[in-house]
Amino acid sequence: MTKEKAQTRKKPSDMSPQDFIGVGEQIRVDPLIQQVAEAFRQQEAPLCLVGGAIRDIILKRDIKDYDFVVKEMTPAFLDHLGALLEASVFPMGKGRQEQVYRLVKGKRTIDFAVMAGDAIDQDLMRRDFTINAIAYSFAEGRFFADSQAIKDVREGRIAPVSPQALQADPLRMLRAVRYRCTLPGFDLTAQLKEEITRHRGLVSDVAQERIRAELDAINFSPDPAGGLQLMHELGLLITIFPELAPLEGLPQGRHHHTDALSHTIEVVGEVNRLMNEGPPFAFRSTDQDRLILGYAALFHDLGKPATKSIDEGGEVHFYGHPQESSLLSQGIMRRLKFPNRVRDGVLLVVENHMRILTLARGEPKDNALRRLINTMGEEIRLLLLLGLAETGSKGNGDDDEQVRFMDLSRRIWDLYEREDLIAPEPLLRGRDLLGLGHEPDPRMGEILEEVRKRQIAGELRNKEEALQFVRKEYAL
């Protein structure tokens, strides 16, 4: 291994080459890093690996994202890198001071940022946190780092590089929470928590897409509930989601042991646990499923404050809150510019999240369950998981409720797996009604829709039964 030096922005004596023993070797054997380094070497262009990849090597974690710093980046060379790595390419940082270009290869991202300042040590001084203020120069074969970087990585501290770090980019407040959720054993320093609390209002000036990207990362993390709780303690949660403010301190009656906001955060935690440990069904989740379910859990009770009522016996009710929650969720997701597919899934789950819980209190027939599956489509899987999370987070000791819900969930899952209830092949088509003598008018559509509903409910099982139904109910 070649000799590796360490350079700091403060006292070189604070750093030791021993801190980087083995790190340079790991960098040199990483195939993706070497592909990029070789491409820049052929262009005789300076290149530095920075931040998270080096931090993860030190922590002996798998590298998921790569960050490089370059002197300049031309569109032609960026396209060349995209072709070389077989990765999609797009620019980032619209409305931001720094120039950032991203390549996406599978689930890994490779970012190239144009250097801030004239040298890499100046660039590091403008970074967010000390744990990311580490760089390896391929041309010089040496490391550069903030004087606290290695110590903070070793001891699990998330601290800003400078007092101006948060004001330079307020998104870093949310990013600090994300690191807390994705780096086990790490926590924000007391000083950073105080700085975030003081400057939390600045996050409102950040582009909404950037905020949502950090929220997505927290959602995907091992501890999204912990992230939301920390955001709440720092004042970020209500700043980003003012719609959640009325839930704090809102009592929910005898069926719950916490206020509505605490319950919401607990449900997010339960959802994450079910996804990670595996639900009691043959369920394979996608990244999109995780986003839909995570945000549905966060938004599902937004409508409770506006729908609260108390009956003569002093019992608290929230009639119609799923619909009100859906309306408020729509406003949030429009503001944060959610992708249409995620938005539609969240709204569907939120608006229907009480239906299985309500059905479980009675003795529903299969036709009602079939109609629910057809309404929900593939999101019926997520609705079941949200209901399981809800019943598991109330903390009221009602084992009977959980047993009833689980029994009903198994019935629903069995129907979902056994029958095609989402998009079944139609029993009748327009030509069949024409054969019975019906005219091609709007009434024909009404007849076909009624046949479809009865097919979903299991009342019509084949074409002959459907024809007999039409002859009887829609006689010419």
Contact between 136 and 49 under an 8 Å Cβ cutoff? The reply is: yes
Q: How confident is the model at residue 2 (pLDDT cuts 50, 70, 90)?
A: very low
Q: How confident is the model at residue 47 (pLDDT cuts 50, 70, 90)?
A: very high
pTM, to two decimals: 0.87
Q: How confident is the model at residue 13 (pLDDT cuts 50, 70, 90)?
A: very low
What would the pLDDT profile of 412-460 be if each residue is shown by its tens digit?
999 999 999 998 999 999 999 999 999 998 899 999 999 999 999 999 9
How many whole angstroms separate alpha carbon 454 and alpha carbon 461? 9
| pLDDT at residue number 12 | 29
The mean pLDDT of 4-33, rounded to a whole number, is 64
The mean pLDDT of 48-61, rounded to a whole number, is 92
The mean pLDDT of 457-467, rounded to a whole number, is 93
b/e per residue, 429-464, with b = 16+ CB within 10 A?
A: eeebbeeeebeeeeeeeebbeebbebbbbbebeeee
Domains in the chain: boundaries: 6-155, 163-240, 244-418, 430-473
More confident residue, 301 or 280: 301
Q: How confident is the model at residue 3 (pLDDT cuts 50, 70, 90)?
A: very low
Q: Please give the class, per CATH, of domain 163-240.
A: mainly alpha
The mean pLDDT of 320-328, rounded to a whole number, is 97
Q: How confident is the model at residue 93 (pLDDT cuts 50, 70, 90)?
A: low
- The DSSP-derived string for 270-318 is HHHHHHHH--SSS----HHHHHHHHHHHHHTTTTHHHH-EE-TTS-EE-
b/e per residue, 56-86, with b = 16+ CB within 10 A?
A: bbbeeeebeebbbbbeebeeebbeebbeebe
More confident residue, 293 or 80: 293
The answer on pLDDT for 206 being more than 90 is yes
| pLDDT at residue number 402 | 83
Write down the CATH number for the domain with range 244-418: 1.10.3210
| pLDDT at residue number 15 | 46
Contact between 346 and 329 under an 8 Å Cβ cutoff? The reply is: yes
How many whole angstroms separate alpha carbon 249 and alpha carbon 204? 24
Closest CA to 296 of 232, 377, 353, 222: 353
Do the bridges between strand 134-137 and strand 47-50 make them parallel or antiparallel, or are there none, so unpaired?
A: antiparallel
Contact between 65 and 51 under an 8 Å Cβ cutoff? The reply is: no
Establish whether domains 163-240 and 244-418 are of one fold: no
- For the record, the structure tokens of 184 come out as 């086990």
The answer on pLDDT for 106 being more than 90 is no
Give phi and psi for 108, each to the nearest 5.
-105, 145
How many whole angstroms separate alpha carbon 45 and alpha carbon 194? 41
| pLDDT at residue number 398 | 62
The answer on pLDDT for 345 being more than 90 is yes
How many whole angstroms separate alpha carbon 317 and alpha carbon 423? 36
| pLDDT at residue number 339 | 96
Contact between 303 and 327 under an 8 Å Cβ cutoff? The reply is: yes
What would the pLDDT profile of 221-238 be if each residue is shown by its tens digit?
999 999 999 999 999 999
Q: What is the DSSP letter of 419?
A: S
The mean pLDDT of 271-289, rounded to a whole number, is 87
Write down the CATH number for the domain with range 6-155: 3.30.460.10
Cα-based distances in Å from 169 to 14, 96, 164, 199, 202: 28, 9, 9, 11, 9
The mean pLDDT of 198-222, rounded to a whole number, is 95
- For the record, the structure tokens of 230 come out as 């920390």
H or E stretch covering 401: helix 399-418
Q: Mean pLDDT for the chain?
A: 89
The mean pLDDT of 396-417, rounded to a whole number, is 85
The answer on pLDDT for 94 being more than 90 is no
The mean pLDDT of 206-219, rounded to a whole number, is 95
Do the bridges between strand 108-114 and strand 134-137 make them parallel or antiparallel, or are there none, so unpaired?
A: unpaired
pLDDT-above-70 percentage for the chain: 93
What would the pLDDT profile of 357-382 be if each residue is shown by its tens digit?
999 989 999 999 999 999 999 999 99
How many whole angstroms separate alpha carbon 352 and alpha carbon 329? 13
Highest mean pLDDT among 173-187, 277-291, 390-404: 173-187
Highest mean pLDDT among 58-62, 92-96, 197-201: 197-201
pLDDT-above-90 percentage for the chain: 65
Q: How confident is the model at residue 11 (pLDDT cuts 50, 70, 90)?
A: very low
| pLDDT at residue number 284 | 82
How many whole angstroms separate alpha carbon 336 and alpha carbon 473? 49
More confident residue, 333 or 43: 333
